[in-house]
Amino acid sequence: MSDNDSETVQSHLVEPAWLEQRLGDDSMRVVDMRGYVNAQTQPDGFQTAQYNGAKDEYLISHIPDAVYLDWTSDIVDTEDPVPAQLAGPEKVADVLGRAGIGDDKLVIAYDNHPASQFATRLWWVLRYYGHEKVRVLNGGWKRWNVEGYPVTSETPRAKRAVFTPRPDPRWRQTWQDVSSKLDSDVVLIDARDEGQFTGTIRRGPRGGHIPGAVNVPRELLVESDGRWRALPELRAEIESRGIRPSNEVVAYCNGGVAATSVLFALSMLGYPDLSNYDGSWNEWGPRTDLPIATELP
C-alpha cells in the first residue's frame, strides 16, 4: 500500500485495537448505528421491506462509551413521504448535540451490517453537513465481538454539545438532478443486488434500475468478515466497471443507505466528485413519469 493509500484509509477507517486504546477519550464520540432492513420476497419477486433500529440490542451490549442513534428516525425526516430521507439541519443539530457530537468531536461509527451501510449512512450525513471528522470501525460490531474486545450494558451520559450544520449540496442529489443527467457523462451506480437491478425482484410497482446505471452491489466491497477489501482490490473492482476518478459519480439504492457504502469505498479510493441520490428507488420506482430499464449492460 502506498503512503497516499495508507493516509486515505486512516482518514476513513479505524481498527478495533486502535479504538480500544482510546476508549474514554473525550475528544471522540463512538456511535452505535445498528439496525436492519427486514425484507420478505414473494414467489413472484415482489419484495417488501421494513426499516428497523436495534436499540434493544444496544441496551444489552455495546462498545463502552458508545451512544446510540436510530438510522430509521434520528437522522431522517420522518414526515417525508419517501422513506429514510435525510433529516433537516435543525433536527440533525438537535439530535447530534444531545448525543454529545459537537463540531470538534471525532465520530467513530459502527453497526452490525455486513457492508457497514448504517455506519456509512452516518458518515455520509456528517459529510453532507460539513463534519469531516468521522470514521467507520473496520469490521463493525461483529469483528469487535469475534476478536474479544470489551463490551458493556452501561449507557453513557452524553454532555450536550453544539453541532453546526454546514450543508454541502454536492453530496446529495434529487430526482430532478438525476433526471437531468441521464444523457450525460455522469456515472450512476446502483448499489443493490442484481435481482433488484434487473427487476427480477422488485420493491413497489416497478422493478429495474435507472437507465444507464452501473450495478455495483455493496457486498462486493467487503470481505466475508465485514472488513473492507484492500484498496488495490477495491480499485480493480470499481475500474473493471469503467468507473474512474475523473467521473462525477451518483450512487443510489432503495433508500439512499446502501448507496453510502459505495460512496464510502470510492471516497477511500480518492474519487473526488461523489453524491447520493437520497430518494433512490423508493422515490424513482413508483413514478411512472420517470424512465426505468431492466437489461444488464
Task: Compute the average pLDDT of residues 157-177.
Answer: 96
Q: Which domain holds residue 102?
A: 3-167
**What CATH number is associated with residue 22?**
3.40.250.10
As a whole number of angstroms, the distance between CA 1 and CA 13 comes to 15
Residue 216 grid coordinates: 455495483
Domain end (from 150, 167, 184) = 167
Residue 79 grid coordinates: 414526515
Task: Compute the average pLDDT of residues 277-289.
Answer: 97
Q: Give the chain's domain count.
A: 2
Residue pLDDT, tens place only, 3-27: 456 667 789 999 999 999 999 999 9
Residue positions annotated with a catalytic role: 253
- Res 10: pLDDT: 85
First CA to last CA distance, the chain: 32
Same domain, 120 and 53: yes
Torsion on CA atoms 39, 137, 246, 257, rounded to nearest 10: 20
Look at residue 296 and tell me if it is in a domain. Answer: no
Q: Check whether 1 has a pLDDT greater than 60.
A: no
Residue pLDDT, tens place only, 222-245: 999 999 999 999 999 999 999 999
Task: Compute the average pLDDT of residues 91-111.
Answer: 98
Same domain, 19 and 112: yes
Same domain, 7 and 143: yes
